[in-house]
Amino acid sequence: MRYGAEILRRSRDSATIRSRNPGLAGFLNILVPGLGCAYLGKWLYAIGYLIWVPLVFAAATGLSGLAAHTVGLFFPGPVVNMVVRAVFLFLFRAIVLWDMFFTPYRLAEEYTQTQSEANQ
């Protein structure tokens, strides 16, 4: 009887392992900052992303205006200002989105590996 309960526990654990999809965690985190980490049960990461990402985007918007103004001192014209602002925001947001996707992806892979090692 005890052996049957052990098999049931292992099958339940392996179902939990399959439910922690790294790609889904990354996608959820991009969809709503922190949702992918909450999906993994990493609540501190989730709260951190929920607070950090809007602050970083606001800071990037302010810094892009400063960078555009600085470049505009040397190269006057509204087109240069818009191009500098767009490039700065694109690069900054690309870096943040990269981090938003791959942090939960990495956490999900570590979770899956840890759980599979614990089941063996």
DSSP string, 56-92: HHHHHHHHHHHHHHHHHHHS-SHHHHHHHHHHHHHHH
Amino acid at 2: R
Q: Which residues contact 107 (CB under 8 A, 6 or more apart)?
A: 25, 37, 40, 42, 45
pLDDT tier at 47 (50, 70, 90 boundaries)?
Answer: very high
Domain that holds residue 66: 2-119
Rounded distance between C-alpha atoms, residue 16 and residue 71, angstroms: 53
**pLDDT tens-digit map of 61-115:** 888 888 878 887 787 778 887 888 888 888 888 888 888 888 888 888 888 888 7
Both tokens of 69, joined, read: 């103004």
**Which of 33, 42, 24 has its CA nearest to residue 111?**
42
Instruction: Tell me what pLDDT residue 6 has.
Output: 56
Both tokens of 66, joined, read: 């400063």
Residue position matching structure tokens 């985007």: 57
The CA dihedral of 116, 12, 108, 56, to the nearest 10 degrees, is -150
Instruction: Tell me what pLDDT residue 9 has.
Output: 55
Instruction: Tell me what pLDDT residue 17 has.
Output: 46
For the chain, the domain total comes to 1
Q: pTM for the complete prediction?
A: 0.64
